[in-house]
Structure 1
Amino acid sequence: MWILTAYEENDITMFEFEEEKEARESFKNYKGTKILSHVIYFNDDIFVTS
């Protein structure tokens, strides 16, 4: 999951994305102060071993 956090004056807005490509495109197009975060949960597929 990807989270775009945007700050405008006294407001904070957060947008959630499943795909990295979509999140990065929105990050690039959004004007103002912003942070893009990649959220990884301990039970995500990257941690599962066979």
Structure 2
Amino acid sequence: MCPLNGLGNILGLYTSACSDVMRDVLHYFLIHDMTIEEKHKQIVV
């Protein structure tokens, strides 16, 4: 039971860390796209 419990904790930590990284990556790309659109608008105007 102990090894399985430890494995569950490790998997839980891994999935939470992975979701945090994915959120940061999505946030970065969203901000990056917004800045590109803003620059494009400035160039057009």
- TM bucket (normalised to shorter chain) is under 0.3
Tell me the TM-score normalised to structure 1 length: 0.25
Larger radius of gyration: 2
Task: Using CA pairs under 8 Å that are at least 6 residues apart, name the structure with larger relative contact order, 1 or 2.
Answer: 1
Higher helix fraction (1 or 2) = 2
